[in-house]
Amino acid sequence: MKTIDVVVSPVGATRVETNGFTGDQCRQASAFLEQALGLAQNERLKADFYKTEVRDQQQARQSS
C-alpha cells in the first residue's frame, strides 16, 4: 500500500514521509504537499530506498 504520512509538530513544523513507492515515485508523489506546505529544509532517504532500487534493477535485467 502506498501511503504518505504528514506529521505536524506542536510548533507547526511538518515532516512528510512516503512509504511503499518504487523507483522515483515517492518524490513525485509527495512533491505536491511539499510545495503546498512551505519550504523544504532537508530530505533523508530511508533504508528501503536502496533495497528497492537494486531489486528494480535486477527485475529490469531479468525482463530484458
Partner 1 sequence: MSHVVQIKTQVRDAAAVRAGCSRLGLDAPVEGEVKLFSETVNGLAVRLKDWRYPVVFDLTTGESKFDNYQGRWGRQGRLDEFLQAYAVEKTKIEARRKGYSVAEHRLADGSIKVSLTVGGAS
Please report, as ranges, the residues that interact with partner 1 according to CB under 8 A: 1-27, 29-30, 32-34, 36-46, 48-50, 52-53
Would you say 43 or 64 has its CB closer to partner 1?
43
CA angle 9, 5, 39 (to 5 degrees): 60
Going by C-alpha positions, the residue among 11, 15, 9, 58 that lies closest to residue 33 is 15
Report, in Å, the least distance between residue 21 CB and partner 1: 6
Q: Which is nearer to partner 1, 13 or 59 (CB)?
A: 13
**Closest residue by Cα to residue 8 from 37, 29, 32:** 37
Nearest-approach distance from CB 64 to partner 1, in angstroms: 21
